[in-house]
Amino acid sequence: MPKVSAGDVDIHYVEAGSGPPLVLVHGLGGSWADWDYQINAFSPHYRVLAPDLRGFGDTPIGAREPGVLQFVEDLRGFLDATGVDSCLLVGHSMGGAVCLQFSLQYPHRVQRLVITNSVPGFKPRTLRQYFEIGYRLFVMSLLGPARLSRISAQRMFPGPENEGLRAKVIARGARNTRRAYLGSLRRLTAWSVIDRLAELQMPTLVIGAGQDYFGHDDVVKFAHALPRGYLHWFPVGRHGLPSEAPEAFNPVLLKFLRRKVKP
């Protein structure tokens, strides 16, 4: 897997195909491999780049603390190093937060934006949100990454039909470190750009799912707050939608990327 230098770390990434740059940003505890089903599908049409964020996958954590703002600067350095001036940008979960923040700080570098299974603010407001954050903090702190990855994989990909996918996710998650995961989570739960959505002038697709952690009303409100926002709601689907249902997810993504929009 190739790597490029960005500040104090070498960012590992996967690249496939040629054409307009399509950059895929994974979520908390993930890696480039979370985009397995998209890299192969989109490489005939795009130059697909999927980096490992600082502290995850094969990118070391370095001296700086991981978090949305640091990931944004790492992403800027990654694009510089790979010769990408502007791109089609896709983010999943925490990767969605990174892509939103990046698009606010460097709007000229984002042609179109796609946010899946994510929201513009991770500060907990409801009992369920406090639970989702609390259980991750508890399990990672006391039981470690291997146990948390098993629990999370079972919740995201239940059923015997997902046994192979679950095994891959568990193996990847077990490689996480407490420092990278907990540091990223704590900073994520203090992050919000809800009050800045009107600044995002690029076409933006928001993708939500019926059994995700993020409810229908919050996702719809998010999409409607965007000046050039589009919404696609999957009534059936969980948090790992790009991996769980690529046969449904990929056509929606491709249609948006190719869609003619008003300038």
pLDDT of 237 higher than 80: yes
pLDDT of residue 125: 87
pLDDT of residue 76: 98
Residue 219 lies in a domain: yes
Residue 143 lies in a domain: no
Average pLDDT over all residues of the chain:
96
Range of the domain at 18: 3-122+192-258
Question: Whole-model pTM?
Answer: 0.97
What CATH number corresponds to the domain at position 95? 3.40.50.1820
pLDDT of residue 34: 97
Residue 199 lies in a domain: yes
Residue 151 lies in a domain: no
Residue 183 lies in a domain: no
Residue 176 lies in a domain: no
Q: Which of 31-35, 164-168, 257-261 has the lowest mean pLDDT?
A: 257-261
Q: Looking at the 3D structure of the chain, how many domains does it have?
A: 1
Residue 169 lies in a domain: no
Amino acid identity, position 210:
G
Residue 137 lies in a domain: no
Q: With cut-offs at 50, 70 and 90, classify the pLDDT of residue 128.
A: confident
